[in-house]
Amino acid sequence: MKVLVLGRGKTGALVAEAAREHGHVVQVLGSKDNENASALTPDRLHDVATIIDFTTPEAAPRHIEAAVRNGRNIVVGTTGWYDEIPRLRKVVEQAGVGVLYGSNFSIGVNVFFDAARVAASALHHHYSGEIFERHHARKKDAPSGTALVLQRLIQETSEKQLEITSFREGDVVGMHEVVLNSSNDTIYLCHDAKSRRGFAEGAVRAAEWLVGKKGFFEFRDIWREL
């Protein structure tokens, strides 16, 4: 299928590379070529099966809206725009297209989510907890989308909201930690991404999964089906 990748950053470049390795025809648009979603026209998108977005929190909602206008499915790996989800969910469901978003497309991180959900039961047994996340200095949103998902999952399980501490330093790909502490012991859960390749591979597999589907999906709910 033909895939349009939005974003020429490090992750966007890896997504394009992974998509080609999967046998897809790939086109890439950078932010300078697509200001305010201006390049997402019917002519540009007429033979595109799926759009994959790794851009900025400000741009992602406009890209979703453009995909909806043109009847195209879109996978969104950008974070920091989630306040728009209730509004965009209605738009997407009325239009009958497919949108799949995720704070993290790494299979390892989604296993980590499950582990954190189980470990959160300790908060009912005199444990306190914190979430730490580290990313490269250029990352614009803080806390990260992944950390916010961790916080929400733990709160759903324990009814307690853990504080998130964010660090922006160097070229850290992404590290997330959940620390649960009691007077008797400490539980450490950690996911440390070695490269962005896992994110890219997951995004391409998500785009393949989305073919022929309609609705608003989150990656953490569907990754086992890949």
Q: Which residues are catalytic?
A: 135, 139
> What order do you get walking across the sheet with 175-181 strand by strand?
163-168, 128-135, 175-181, 186-192
**Beta carbons within 8 Å of 184's beta carbon, 6+ residues apart:** none
Instruction: Output the DSSP codes for 46-80.
Output: TT--EEEE-S-TTTHHHHHHHHHHTT-EEEE---S
Query: How far apart are the C-alpha atoms of 205 and 154, rounded to whole Å?
Result: 27
Query: How far apart are the C-alpha atoms of 177 and 125, rounded to whole Å?
Result: 20
Phi, psi of 143 (to 5 degrees): -65, 165
Amino acid at 176: H
CB 216 within 8 A of CB 152: no
Query: How far apart are the C-alpha atoms of 193 and 196, rounded to whole Å?
Result: 7
| Two tokens, residue 3 | 């895939």
Three-class secondary structure assignment of 36-53: HHCCCCHHHHCCCCEEEE
